Structure 1
Amino acid sequence: MGSCAVAACAVFAAAPVFAADDDRPVTAEIGGRLHLDFASFDNDGRGTPNKDDTEVRRAWLDVSGKLFVVDYKMEADFSGDRVEAKDVYLSRSFGDAGRLTVGQFKQYFSLDDRTGSNYGSFLERGNAGTSLAPLYRLGASWQANPGDFTWAASLYSLESIDAWQVKGRAAGGRATWAPSPAAGDVLHLGVSAARELYDNPGASGAPGLRIRPRPAGHLSDESRLTLVDFSAGRDTDVDKWSLEYAQVRGPWSWQGEFSGATFDDGLQRGKVLAGYGMLSWFVTGESRGYDRRTGRFARIKDIRHTAGAFELALRYDQMRGDQHLVGLPDLRDGSTEAWTLAGNWYLRDNLRFMLNLIESRNRDRLADVTVDRTRAVTGRLQFDF
């Protein structure tokens, strides 16, 4: 990755110098988000019960703007025990040819993951979005938006500013097509893929490589089921992909994705498949916002009533994983699934209250038994600026 960063910096240095908009060479704008969550659980008698809890899920601040010939963004989350870096990058537009970005940024994988947490219809993304998406990584990318298409490709390290123990390198990209003509009338198709090469996961201080979704929300740690585990210290190759489909028709929208990953450390192999389908309805008549430049859902606009907008949404989400020694039967075969009913009250376009009702179930398919069944009520008060 060092050579990529050097090459990208050379491109920036070679670019002609020009003043920023309205002749200001340096600009800055402050933004942020605050998500306050709660969860209440109805656990079954199997395993350790999840505890009812509250949390500051996100407390982000960011500054962005122009720095002479480049744009910049610095973003951090202050919600945990330590400050965690999010987007920290420099970028430069080259007109219709596209945009170059260097630094730490969210990788380009799946509609669910690329849609920001401020704009999703549910408190949490689906299983693939929370456990397969590469999230924030150090690297360099090129993005473009020719006509009805978007595409982005990146080379990145498996390290991030806050997780330098994860060693390895990767490449990935995403392309979308959205030919619909107007707001409230959207057809979206997309595909994304990534190849990640992990160095010795689980050895020499490196964290293990595990897929363990939380089926009943972010606070449902006791309901996690390990679908694959590659933590024996052997180099592991991972191939990921996702297929995207979504439509918006006035107050109605629906979307689904089918995602997967394969794992190979030379001695063991694993496979994960995930899919979800969801339906959303704005009872008050608004439409989900969509950003055609980036191929993802965005802020709703033009709230029609002084009391705000109200959205109902329903999602079914399923994920299955298996793992085996090469040439031998499965060591592991499990699945997790969840139904989620959501109600979202948008008091303003940047202020909303969210409530989710979740029914989740985990199965050990080798033993053909249900190992966990959890119901949850989760909620969030959300504000962004």
Structure 2
Amino acid sequence: MKLHRQLLTAAVAAALFVPVAHAEVAIDVIGGSEITFEGLVQADGNWFDNDRADLNGSTGKNGKDSEFELRRAELVLKGKGPGNIEWVVGYDAKADKFLDTNAKYKLGGNSNHYLQVGQYKQPNSLEELSSTKNNDFISKATVTNTYAVARRLGVGYGLGDSNWSVTASAFGRELTRDLAHGSGYGLRGTFAPINDKGNILHFGLSYADYDTDADTLRLRARPNADLATVRLVDTGDMKDSDRISTLGAEAMYVQGPFKAQAEYFNAKVKRYDHDNYTSDGYYLSGVWNVTGETWSYKGGTPGLGLPNDPGRGMWQLGARFDHIDLNDGGLRAPAMVGGAPLVDGVLGGKMDVWTVGANWYWRSNFKASLNYVMVDSKKYSSSARGFVSDKPNILEARLQFFW
């Protein structure tokens, strides 16, 4: 870990001493490849107003209702060329894992028509595919964190134009050892019937199907707080799981400084010795750029540029509602009077989450975020012999530096 800290310190120092701050640092042209260096450092703080569960109590980090942590320390080398080849090697020094590490060949020189090999984000979920440094909220939506397939090793093919795209991928494990496993495939199609500057309407559908790891699957979710050590909804281990397939639907509308976005996920798990399991969830969000900036659109995902006035910065206000339902079953009457009811199926719980927040992007490299999260969850408890509610609130803050 000491080596990781030294590497991160050297990278940040190099970025800070570049004469003019840019979104990326040009390195050199080597072997016909234009090489640039990018980075992202995020530091988070979470303050918990607990209800029933102690959201940061299972690890006993500091004995208080708060946690502070370096969330990400991403270092990325990118290359353009030779010819129609683009490549990237990314590493997170905080999580000790590889990020995007792949090569892309643009067929006919068209950036919308390509073949990709290596580790990359799989073709599903608008929020998962969007840039991490421009997240609307500190934590991704509950359903995104639960259902979306992130980076895996694979082979992908993409075809599209300015207002539509189709992507297919066959994938396996994550590049870093002992992380996500399970071979499968993913498909995503997008269509933007309106795609003008400051006026965008986007629709998308995705489907991912893959093997579960060691025939065991567990779906669970934090209360939209990345530093929480407790999950308020949790299916437990479903040990006879074979495959999971997830259907996703997405929509986004941009009108000037306003953006509305929504996604729905429905997941089905094929099981050997039990009935198949189904769960679903969705989120709805809205963001307003108070200072008047708008979003761009490319390859089926939105992009956010620099502030109109770098010295003043870009201010955003946003709100999001999340819902996830991990219940697929019910309760049967006990076998004898006074006994506990029998669980028929899987009762992983339900959770609704409201998040309100503000972001401030300053100049080209800095961002500060503040979120307030209100949670309403309910899950079956065998000890209580019934459903138990838990309604905590969380204050979240993030400082971000990127180049």
TM-score (norm 2): 0.81
Question: Within the alignment, does 1:272 sit opposite 2:279 as a pair?
Answer: yes
Please, which runs of 5 or more residues in structure 1 have no aligned partner? 1-21, 203-208
Is the contact made by 1:362 and 1:371 (CA closer than 8 Å) also made in structure 2?
A: yes
Tell me by how many angstroms 1:201 deviates. Answer: 3.4
The separation in 1 between residues aligned to 2:319 and 2:241, in whole angstroms, is 40
Pairwise CA distance, 1:88: 0.9
Q: Structure 1's 142 and 308: CA in aligned 2 closer, same or farther, altered over 3 A?
A: same
Does 2:183 align with 1:176?
no
Matched, 1:103 2:141: no
Deviation sequence 1:46-86 (CA, Å, 0-9, x none): 23343411111110001110464532110000113xx2101
Distance 1:362 1:169, change over 3 A: same
- Residues 54 and 277 (structure 1 numbering): CA distance in 2 closer, same or farther, change over 3 Å? same
142, 146, 154: which one aligns with 2:157: 142
User: SS of 1:194's equivalent?
Assistant: strand
Distance 1:145 1:34 in 2: 33
Q: Deviations over 1:152-193 (max 9, x none)?
A: 110001x11224475431010111112324221111111111
- Matched with 2:257 is 251
Report what 1:299 is aligned to. Answer: 304
Residues 291, 329 of structure 1: alpha-carbon distance in 2 compared, 3 angstrom cutoff: same
Mapped contact 1:176–1:188 kept (Cα < 8 A):
yes
Q: Is the 8 A contact 1:228 1:270 kept in 2?
A: no
Number of aligned residues = 349
Percent identical: 25
Amino acid paired to 2:323: Q
Match of 1:90 among 94, 97, 103: 103
- TM-score (normalised: structure 1): 0.84
The residue number in structure 2 matching 1:375 is: 393
Q: Is the 8 A contact 2:190 2:205 kept in 1?
A: yes
Distance 1:49 1:132 in 2: 22
Which residue number in structure 1 is paired with residue 335 of structure 2?
A: none
Give the whole-Å Cα distance in 2 for the aligned partners of 1:163 and 1:201. 18
SS in 2 for 1:237: strand
Aligned pairs for 1:182-197 (under 5 A) are 182-197=196-211
For residue 107 of structure 2, what is the amino acid of its counterpart? F
Task: Provide the C-alpha distance between the structure 2 equivalents of 1:303 and 1:341, rounded to a whole number of angstroms.
Answer: 24
TM-aligned CA distance change 1:28 to 1:300, over 3 Å? closer
Structure 1: how far apart are the matches of 2:162 and 2:397? 39
Per-residue deviation at 1:347?
1.1
* Unaligned segments of structure 2, at least 5 residues: 1-28, 57-64, 331-342
